[in-house]
Structure 1
Amino acid sequence: MNFQAEKDWAVTRLSVERGRQPAFLSEAERDAAERLRADYTRGSLMPSVAQSWNFQPRERSVPGGARDLSDNAIDARNRIEKAVAAIGPELSDLVLDVACHLKGLELVERERGWPARSAKMLLKAGLGILARHYGFTGAPVRRASAMRTWRQADARPKIANR
């Protein structure tokens, strides 16, 4: 990405302190957006504007299918799916549009028919959820693989013959 687009990125603009005003987005929220964008790029999900000069013939039954992706790209896509699921369907499109497709907040509001400055608050909420999912905040991340038990907290197992 070129420098001008990086400077104009909505997440970058919202992460900068203005005078004595603190930045609107926290460091964890900014880092979460950058990590999602990096995975989006690694997952080969960015639209290609250049012609492919790869002269390897493709299998006709699977044009541009999963066989053309590297393991890193597949892993990145899996991470994106988990992140989008963590954000939820209400906010995931907004976060993807701003963080990955580099759309401005005003454009997103116009496209969706939202009131002015509403995307800013929703983006903060979505990135906060994403930061918690990535473990960037102090809040504990609930893991599905965590050990669960039906015993009470103070229960002790009984050992036979003791």
Structure 2
Amino acid sequence: MSDAANNKAMLKLLRFLSGGEAKVEGQGTPVPVIHRAGSRHALPAAVLAEAISRGLVTETQSRLSLAPPARTYLRRALAAREEAFLEQHGEIATAVREIDGTPQTLRVNEAESPLAALARLKDKGGEPFLPAEALAAGERLHADFTRAQLQPRVTASWQPRLSGRTRGERGGMADLADSAIAARIAVNRAIEAMGPELAGAALDICCFMKGLETVERERQWPVRSAKLMLRTALLALARHYNPPRRSARMQHWGEEGYRPGMETWPA
């Protein structure tokens, strides 16, 4: 049996046993069978023997169960399969993202980015339609929105006040981790910085991942207006995230060579 086939059979065995203890029949035969509550799974004897020898499966009186190391093995194997799928079907790139205030280099799937298609658009002069700072602002808004755990709870009627409580229930903030609370505050401030006229487009496209045409249809906007509204919103948001620095140099209206005199104030 090839290594790939062996690994596949091992995963099937461990995933079957993750549902609970199973009984094995046909020990000593080339293809023993394990079964539990009407479910049956046949596998090569060599795979079962390897699983037992590696401490992934324990056998007691012809009954099999997962050993603690099997959980780690399964997580790693499934993560490796997901990574291979992304490599084949995704658009994997390296990007710098800000996480909890610290820039970190991450591998991202641009095919899943809400701004991926817009990032490739050019204006009439051949320049990117969305400047780099606007793209970064949109990605940061999306990251804060996701970390704040808002998407499942937000209705079509968006209100800047993201927390609240009803009679007899705990407040929404009470059950959240500190990181989620901080993210909700960040989203609130971002909405206020963009203003109600622009925030809706940014939320729809960056957070709810709606297409431009969908946004225009739902909001009854003219054709090709959503991307302009989004660009304006994200540029305003970029200024909110990275406000321009003010010069610390003292300004005065005197001409060159001017020196202020000392005024004597009456006692």
Query: TM-score, normalization: structure 1?
Result: 0.69
> Within 1, Cα distance between the matches of 2:224 and 2:183?
31
Shift of 1:64: 6.7
1:83 lines up with 2:190 in the alignment: yes
Match for residue 230 of structure 2? 123
User: Is the 1:132–1:141 contact (alpha carbons within 8 Å) kept by the matching residues of 2?
Assistant: no
> Within 2, Cα distance between the matches of 1:31 and 1:120?
16
What pairs up with 1:93-132 in 2 under 5 angstroms? 93-132=200-239
> Within 1, Cα distance between the matches of 2:223 and 2:140?
27
What pairs up with 1:1-162 in 2 under 5 angstroms? 3=90, 7=111, 9-16=113-120, 21-47=126-152, 61-63=168-170, 65-135=172-242, 140=244, 153-154=251-252
Q: Mark the CA change 1:70 to 1:22 in structure 2 (over 3 Å): closer, same or farther.
A: same
Q: Mark the CA change 1:65 to 1:15 in structure 2 (over 3 Å): closer, same or farther.
A: same
User: Is the 2:133–2:238 contact (alpha carbons within 8 Å) kept by the matching residues of 1?
Assistant: yes
Q: Mark the CA change 1:68 to 1:83 in structure 2 (over 3 Å): closer, same or farther.
A: same
Q: Mark the CA change 1:26 to 1:157 in structure 2 (over 3 Å): closer, same or farther.
A: farther
Q: Mark the CA change 1:141 to 1:71 in structure 2 (over 3 Å): closer, same or farther.
A: farther
Shift of 1:140: 1.1
The count of corresponding residues between Structure 1 and Structure 2 is 133
> Within 2, Cα distance between the matches of 1:88 and 1:156?
47
The amino acid that maps onto 1:70 is A
User: Is the 2:121–2:130 contact (alpha carbons within 8 Å) kept by the matching residues of 1?
Assistant: no
> Within 2, Cα distance between the matches of 1:157 and 1:84?
49
Shift of 1:106: 0.3
Q: Percent identity?
A: 43
> Within 1, Cα distance between the matches of 2:241 and 2:262?
35
Shift of 1:112: 1.0
Shift of 1:11: 1.7
Extract structure 1 runs of 4+ deviating beyond 4 A.
2-6, 152-158
Q: Mark the CA change 1:75 to 1:156 in structure 2 (over 3 Å): closer, same or farther.
A: farther
Structure having the higher strand fraction is 2
Question: Over residues 106-156 of structure 1, what are the superposed CA-to-partner deviations in whole Å (9 max), with x where a residue is unaligned?
Answer: 000000111110111111000100011111xxx6168xxxxxxxxx95589
Root-mean-square deviation (CA, aligned residues, Å) is 3.2
Match for residue 51 of structure 1? none
Please, which runs of 5 or more residues in structure 2 have no aligned partner?
1-85, 92-108, 154-166, 253-259
User: Is the 1:109–1:116 contact (alpha carbons within 8 Å) kept by the matching residues of 2?
Assistant: yes
> Within 2, Cα distance between the matches of 1:98 and 1:78?
20
